[in-house]
Amino acid sequence: MSSAVARGGLLSRIIWALKPKDPTTKNLYDAIVILERMINSLESSKRSLKAVVDEHAKRSKMAAQDGKTEFQAIFDEEIKHISSLMAIFEKVTYDLLRVRYRLETLTLVEEPMKMLPEVIRELQDLRPEVERIAPELTTMLNEVERKVSSIIAVSNLGTSTLTLPLPKKQVQEVQADAKTAAPAQLPPLPPTETPLPSRQGRVEKRDVAVEAPVPTNVVAQWVLDELRGSGGILDLSSFTSKFRVSKEKVFEALRYLEEKGIIKVKRY
The 10s digit of each residue's pLDDT in 232-265 is: 777 777 788 888 888 888 888 888 888 877 777 7
Nearest to 85 by CA among 132, 131, 128: 132
Cα 35-39-45 angle, rounded to 5 deg: 145
Overall number of domains in the chain: 2
For residue 165, give its domain range: 161-259
- How do residues 93-149 score in pLDDT, each as one tens digit? 999 999 999 988 888 775 656 778 888 889 989 999 999 999 999 999 999 988 887
Length of the chain: 268
Judge residue 167's burial from the number of C-beta atoms within 10 Å of its C-beta, 0-12 exposed, 13-18 middle, 19 or more buried: exposed
Query: Do 167 and 133 sit in the same domain of this protein?
Result: no
Report if residue 264 sits inside a domain.
no
- How do residues 144-170 score in pLDDT, each as one tens digit? 988 887 776 555 434 444 444 445 545
Q: How confident is the model at residue 70 (pLDDT cuts 50, 70, 90)?
A: very high
Query: Do 43 and 83 sit in the same domain of this protein?
Result: yes
Query: Do 82 and 185 sit in the same domain of this protein?
Result: no
Q: Which residues contact 214 (CB under 8 A, 6 or more apart)?
A: 185, 186, 187, 245, 249
Assess whether pLDDT exceeds 80 at residue 4: no
Q: Which residues contact 189 (CB under 8 A, 6 or more apart)?
A: none
- Global confidence as pTM: 0.52
Assess whether pLDDT exceeds 60 at residue 206: no
Q: How confident is the model at residue 227 (pLDDT cuts 50, 70, 90)?
A: confident
Cα 132-12-107 angle, rounded to 5 deg: 90
Query: Do 190 and 147 sit in the same domain of this protein?
Result: no
Q: Which residues contact 118 (CB under 8 A, 6 or more apart)?
A: none
